[in-house]
Structure 1
Amino acid sequence: MFTLVRCGNKEEHGVLSPQASIKAMEVEDGFEVELVASEPLVVAPVAMTFDNHGRIWLAEMEGYMPDTLGTGEEEPVGRIVILTDEDGDGQVDDRKIFLDSLVMPRALCLVNGGLLVAEPPKLWFYEMKDDKPRGRTLVDSAYAEGGNVEHQPNGLFRALDNWIYSAKYDWRYRRADDGQWLKEKTHFRGQWGISHDDWGRLYYNDNSSNLSGDYFPPGLGAGNPNQRRVAGYGETIVADKRVYPIHPTTGVNRGYMEGILDSTGRLVNFTAACGPLIYRGGLLSGMNAFVAEPSANLIKRNVLHAEGFRVVGKQAYEGREFLASDDERFRPVNLYDGPDGSLYILDMYRGIIQHNTYLTPYLKSEIAKRNLTLPLSMGRIYRVFPRDAKRVVVTIPENTDSLISLLAHPNGWVRDQAQRTLIDRQAIEVATKLRNLLKKDNEPLPAVHALWTLEGLGQLTSDDIRIVLEHPRWEVRAQALAALTSLKKTVAPDQLKDLLTVAISPQDTVLAPYAMLAMASLANERFPEIPALSNRLAEAYANDRYVSDAFISGLGGHELTYLDEMERKKVDTSTVLHRRLVAVVDAINEKSKSKDQALLAKRYPKGTVLFQTACQPCHGEDGRGVSPIAPPLAGSEWVKGNKERLMSLVLYGLTGPVDVAGHTYKTPEVSGEMPGIAHNPAIGDAELAELLSYIRNAWGNNVGDEVLPEDLGAIRSRFGDRAEPFVQSELHKLFGKD
């Protein structure tokens, strides 16, 4: 057991006690920080959720990075624990282990009387009784397959529409009435952490961005596998990435690079952004989004507002943060709303936060210099709240009438939990009372929760949709369009068409994308009554990118047929609809020319595995890039051209804008940083040579010329222990542009 020894105002290795760590924080005026739990009750926390009794269910990833090599990460030392405040003083005083001996557990979700747990690569559902697991079901054997710890699915967020979504993933889950688990394709979202607003729109980010999100309901718009991106999803909500640490933060992975740190040694822009939270606790006015930055020991506040269906935002203030600490081990990794309206912070409290896959020699030196490896097995949970706020801890009741009344509670967490509880209990007897809420024009949020509770209970009808479509608030009518698609198996197609006809107005530019997204979802089910209606709306909004992309999302497999029809009619080829449809058809044609990826995987097995782990999370399974992280590899001159240039780039990294296929990629479109792997001892030249040979022949690149291990050795000899990444101009000067 590691023993803490006080040394001045800090303990050995610079560790602060929880109370001292709070004193090291600067928080926005008028707010207060309280300790909820700390070690030994909390160890390496990465994800949590509250149950109906206000207890915390916590995922502990104790195996994460025990040292700079990641030694022992495969050891089964992770846990799911239940934390309880037994005496009601606001601090946890009891810890109960629910699951032990897990390898790197990373997400959990209470649902249907059990617990979903992500233990890579599997997703499990545990039945339980008296807080003990009673059997488990394998929901997905490949939930977190491939990728490294920083780039695997996480979140397991139970959204307003009753589906469970993840960050860094493009599938969603839901348990059917018969106990079977449903899995459906959705949009790819974010990196670590996921949240939603009062209207069910999802928000997320990647480690180099502030806040991204969706303008439209999460379950729509992902039906066409040929469509790379749908406007209104994956939008930049807050573009400003500037951060304001209160102490020098030289211990960041690329701190040696120009522009990463300012003249005082402080981080300039996000480098480890995570855990975004749309705060809905009811103690703050307006719409607020908080983002954690563990590398700079801070939490940022953004203020958001709606412009029609668009959500835009800016940082709450310039030159300072909502919360910042000069305790280098304060590592906020996830943020949550709570039953009392507070904002809850998971602090992993440790020195090493960067995973070794991309750990630079510079950061290894910083870690050694300040003894940041030890201690391990620590962690804290804090709550933050306005000092003058009247906080009331809400315990979710058993009585169904009380649950219905909580659908109007000012705390969004309480409303969500009331909805989920009614659904999990299959309380179909409350359907009439829920329908009464649909008719209350002056209470939009209870109406929305009532709508989705009916949907979750399997009690939603076309009459319910018709009532909500008459609501005075367009945001509520939009929810009706999103929920309408869940009736596709129970309502006749002509009735669905009638409902859509009622909802569509040629002048309603705000609701038009929602209507088209709903029609596209039904078109994917091949409802013959829908295409004529959607075609008319598409023609009326041919220059609207949101409606056009929504329309294309319902054309999967029929893009060329519709394009031919447009050209036969001699439509205007300059419209947004025509141009975006042509782009999708071109991508389909390009994809059809590509080599069989399965054959390449057999030819380069080690390279394929390394690609899935180190490259795919940023460049995509299809090599077409993941926005807003990295540009495409498919068709890239950097991949197909001079292999010495490619080897140098991969070994030592690339920073700054980069030109690919005639387009300049720079922030915020991509992160602007590709870390090198020359100094990662876990990656040998043999497997790296296979990786480079693989990408030079995948997705139609078809270079043929293989990279050999000795080629990489020559590049290593040429550049030695170079630490800084290349810039584009330097590589062009060294190796040319061909």
Structure 2
Amino acid sequence: MKKYQYPFLIVGFSTLLIYCTANKQSGSGQNTSVVKTEEVKPIDFSKSPFVAPEATISKMVVEDGFEVKLVAAEPLVSAPVAMLFDDKARMWVVEMIGYMPDTIGTGEDIPNGKIVILEDKNKDGVYDDRKVFLDSLVLPRAICLIDNGILVAEPTNLWFYEIQGDKPVKKTLVDDQYAVGGNVEHQPNGLLRAMDNWIYNAKSDKRYRKIKDKWVVEHTHFRGQWGITQDNYGRVYYNNNSQNLLGDYFSPGFGASNKNQRGVAGYNEKSVANNKVYPIRPTPGVNRGYMKNVLDDSLRLNEFTAAAAPVIYRGDLFGKEYEWNAFVPEPSANLIKRNILKESGYVTKGEQAYKGKEFLASTDERFRPVTLTNAPDGSMYILDMYRGIIQHKTYLTPYLKDQIGKRELTQPLASGRIYKVVPKNKKTENVILQNNPEQLVKLLGHANGWVRDKAQQKLIDTKSTQAIPLLRSAIEQKENPLFALHALWTLEGLEALKTEEVLAFINNAAWVYKMQGLTAVPAVISKDNYARFSNALDLLIASGDTLAAPYVAFLAPSIKPFDSAASTNLLKKLALAYPDNRYVADAIVSNLQDEEEPFLTSLTSSFKTKDPMVAKQLQKAIANAKSAAANRNPEILKKQFPKGEALFTSICQTCHGIDGNGVKSLGPPLNQSEWVTGSREKLISIVLFGLTGPVKVNGHVYQAPEISGDMPGIGYDPDMQSEDIAQLLSYIRKSWRNNSDQVSTDEVARVRKKLTGRQKAFTEAELNGI
């Protein structure tokens, strides 16, 4: 493979300042100098030429003190969308080659996707060897290395391949419903192997685990859209296309068991609420670029519209000020955002690191960073799909199609780049993990989070029971808490964790230990020890431990199989001790599916305040249960409107929920919405061309960031038949508690003809004029 002649970013801000804020800024966002725009030569942004790999870095501006290195590019890699490092620092890369070959998605179903292994054989920092592990895949989207094998997500299935000599030798179907419904932008992905040894996903409510020779699938919270990451304590973070960063305050396996509850406080929280972006080039090529406030006066994107796979930086290269930082790629604006997170109890919130600039941005429109990842050398890797089209055809507006044509963004399709970001003049070296239990246990305390994770996983995958004595010593040492936490979860993965060890963590005064001990309870509780855990949880309530209180509530179901009365008593004590704590209230309700009413009745006379939060949350769940009981039979509707049900599942469900009651940060309710059950022409118009918020539904005004500010239409797609749209609308007008008349194919065709040439979404005011 050809070596790259310009591996370092050596470019000053001044070469691009006419298109950015012309400010050199500190981490606090304060201006320290200004350069006059006449000092630089303008760049012609009316065109977006293909830039050779050797020249891409010259188009970037990165934070002072850092440089970008190109480590792989075509023909070694093409259209990378996800990757993992193995214990030899080789990259396993998912190539989604078939994504949007043109503006109508011609040939997306061709099996040309691949999983490839890239290796830097001469150890010069540039990958030079490519090996195809799997090919002939249709739009593969995620992988996970585990137990001498690899999970591969190729919709609709999730497969496990055993590996021998870098070749797949046996194929096992793990889940034939992994990615059912949704389009390419809205299907499960991620396969994050988290600290608690479960595998979590974005755009999904499932988690997976291989226990002995059996794959176990469990239900969790629905979270995210593209990409998922974790912090040092195993809490997960994700986002959706318009939200910078979302995350969970609590461990990811708790609190998702009550179908009558819509949202649990502490999950799907806005970790960073500010969604402003600062491109250094005009970005008219975004799907809603014609709409007011989507672009600023210089035609640059104002806020996230395509936020992609984030990463919590956990490396050991960037320095202390970069600890607890979240980086988020925005491929439609050709940039990478930096956020600084802070903890306050169990609440994790953050702010953007800068005002007026980004950590990294490019003037190359084809720079499409879609995934970020921590690396074995402590750096941060960037997967750049490097192509013009990133918007899927389902939502592609005529406006964007025109922009793609003007700047000839369709071709080429076989490109892709992988970069890494490192501090300048800092030597990097990959940590290679040997099959040596003693070395691996030591690496559980390494400063680089990637190394800690990989050492834990390798000890578990190799079933290194000989390491157990060393692990027991590690959880008792006090010098390095992260060493102790990873040792705890390695013991759990080896099925060697003891009751005493978990109780010791629960009783530790430091919250970082206590949180992990509480999280580990379901893994070790049994009929022989449940009473000890029940007593420990009782003591936490009695001691007034506010941080532990939600966890105690989340753990009540673990007690219930052995002592139902003790489980209920824990919840009652919590309800009376923390009547107005929203996090505790929601954690309590999460355990009480279809038991909310008797539980509330048993407590009402004991509350010292009127209408406490826990009572309000219980009443909401009771109302939701009654509403759901009145819903129409979905199986009958599916038979009546098969195409409508299929379209709802693939396009609408992801934002409006399977129950039609809306999804936090995405879409408002369809169930009993006047926009669904009212005027057929208004509804047809919305579905054809979309709706821009705010919008009032049942007296409540929904707007960003409570929901996405813009609902895309599907009428732009000429292949979308009017008959199918009529079925979709008839399906939702009769689903749940809706009971309105059907929409005919002729009505859809008539509205479609009437609106011929329209390119923008409707507003509520426009619709009210129809």
Name the TM-score, length of structure 1 as normaliser.
0.96
- Residues 230-249 of structure 1: per-residue CA shift (max 9 Å, x gap): 10000001011100110111
Secondary structure, aligned partner of 1:156? strand
CA contact (8 A) 2:541 2:573 kept: no
2:107 is matched with 72
2:769 is matched with 733
Code of the aligned partner of 1:327: D
Shift of 1:435: 1.6
1:302 is matched with 339
Shift of 1:649: 1.1
Structure 1: how far apart are the matches of 2:620 and 2:474?
45
Q: Alignment partner for residue 271 of structure 1, among 287, 305, 321?
A: 305
Is the aligned partner of 1:322 residue 2:356?
Answer: no
Question: After the TM superposition, which residues 138-287 of structure 1 pair with which residues of structure 2 at under 5 Å, given as runs?
Answer: 138-177=173-212, 179-284=213-318, 285=320, 286-287=323-324
- Residues 275-332 of structure 1: per-residue CA shift (max 9 Å, x gap): 1100001223231000000000000000011011100100000000000000010000
1:564 is matched with 601
Question: After the TM superposition, which residues 538-557 of structure 1 pair with which residues of structure 2 at under 5 Å, given as runs?
Answer: 538-557=575-594
Shift of 1:492: 3.1
Q: Alignment partner for residue 686 of structure 1, among 723, 731, 737?
A: 723
Code of the aligned partner of 1:94: D
Secondary structure, aligned partner of 1:72? coil
2:84 is matched with 49
Question: After the TM superposition, which residues 419-568 of structure 1 pair with which residues of structure 2 at under 5 Å, given as runs?
Answer: 419-489=456-526, 491-523=528-560, 527-567=564-604
Structure 1 647/525 Cα, relative in aligned 2: closer, same or farther at 3 Å? Answer: farther
Shift of 1:523: 3.7
Question: After the TM superposition, which residues 364-443 of structure 1 pair with which residues of structure 2 at under 5 Å, given as runs?
Answer: 364-443=401-480
Structure 1: how far apart are the matches of 2:586 and 2:56?
49
1:5 is matched with none
Q: Alignment partner for residue 118 of structure 1, among 137, 153, 163?
A: 153
Structure 1 596/568 Cα, relative in aligned 2: closer, same or farther at 3 Å? Answer: farther
CA contact (8 A) 2:48 2:365 kept: no
- Residues 178-204 of structure 1: per-residue CA shift (max 9 Å, x gap): x11000000111000000000111000
Shift of 1:533: 2.2
2:61 is matched with 26
Shift of 1:713: 1.7
CA contact (8 A) 1:438 1:468 kept: no
Code of the aligned partner of 1:224: N
CA contact (8 A) 1:255 1:261 kept: yes
Structure 2: how far apart are the matches of 1:421 and 1:638?
53
Structure 2: how far apart are the matches of 1:93 and 1:108?
22
Is the aligned partner of 1:127 residue 2:177?
Answer: no
Shift of 1:534: 2.6
Shift of 1:527: 4.4
Code of the aligned partner of 1:700: R
Shift of 1:573: 4.8
Code of the aligned partner of 1:733: G
Structure 2: how far apart are the matches of 1:255 and 1:721?
17
Shift of 1:526: 6.6
Is the aligned partner of 1:663 residue 2:700?
Answer: yes
2:739 is matched with 702
CA contact (8 A) 2:315 2:374 kept: yes
1:98 is matched with 133
Structure 2 portions without partners, runs of 5+: 1-42
Secondary structure, aligned partner of 2:310? strand
Secondary structure, aligned partner of 1:155? strand
Structure 2: how far apart are the matches of 1:148 and 1:524?
40
Structure 2: how far apart are the matches of 1:502 and 1:480?
15
1:293 is matched with 330
Structure 2: how far apart are the matches of 1:642 and 1:213?
38
Code of the aligned partner of 1:279: Y
CA contact (8 A) 1:241 1:270 kept: yes
Structure 1 196/570 Cα, relative in aligned 2: closer, same or farther at 3 Å? Answer: closer
- Residues 564-583 of structure 1: per-residue CA shift (max 9 Å, x gap): 32346577451000000000
1:85 is matched with 120
Aligned-residue Cα RMSD (Å) equals: 1.6
CA contact (8 A) 1:521 1:554 kept: no
- Residues 72-115 of structure 1: per-residue CA shift (max 9 Å, x gap): 00000001110000000011110001101000000000011100
Structure 2: how far apart are the matches of 1:537 and 1:570?
12
1:311 is matched with 348
Structure 2: how far apart are the matches of 1:665 and 1:444?
43
Deviates more, 1:286-295 or 1:674-683: 674-683
CA contact (8 A) 1:161 1:452 kept: yes
1:720 is matched with 756
Structure 1: how far apart are the matches of 2:654 and 2:253?
22
1:3 is matched with none
Structure 1 652/283 Cα, relative in aligned 2: closer, same or farther at 3 Å? Answer: same
Structure 1: how far apart are the matches of 2:69 and 2:95?
21
Structure 1 700/688 Cα, relative in aligned 2: closer, same or farther at 3 Å? Answer: same
- Residues 631-669 of structure 1: per-residue CA shift (max 9 Å, x gap): 111111110111111111111111021111221111111
2:19 is matched with none
Secondary structure, aligned partner of 1:375? coil
Shift of 1:467: 1.8
Q: Alignment partner for residue 375 of structure 2, among 327, 338, 342?
A: 338
Structure 1: how far apart are the matches of 2:528 and 2:326?
38
Structure 1 portions without partners, runs of 5+: 1-7
CA contact (8 A) 2:91 2:117 kept: yes
Number of aligned residue pairs: 724
Secondary structure, aligned partner of 2:325? strand
- Residues 496-515 of structure 1: per-residue CA shift (max 9 Å, x gap): 21232344444221221122
Secondary structure, aligned partner of 1:701? coil
CA contact (8 A) 1:493 1:529 kept: no
Shift of 1:439: 1.6
Q: Alignment partner for residue 581 of structure 1, among 618, 627, 645?
A: 618
CA contact (8 A) 1:400 1:422 kept: yes
Code of the aligned partner of 1:79: K
CA contact (8 A) 2:530 2:559 kept: no
1:4 is matched with none
Structure 2: how far apart are the matches of 1:587 and 1:106?
35
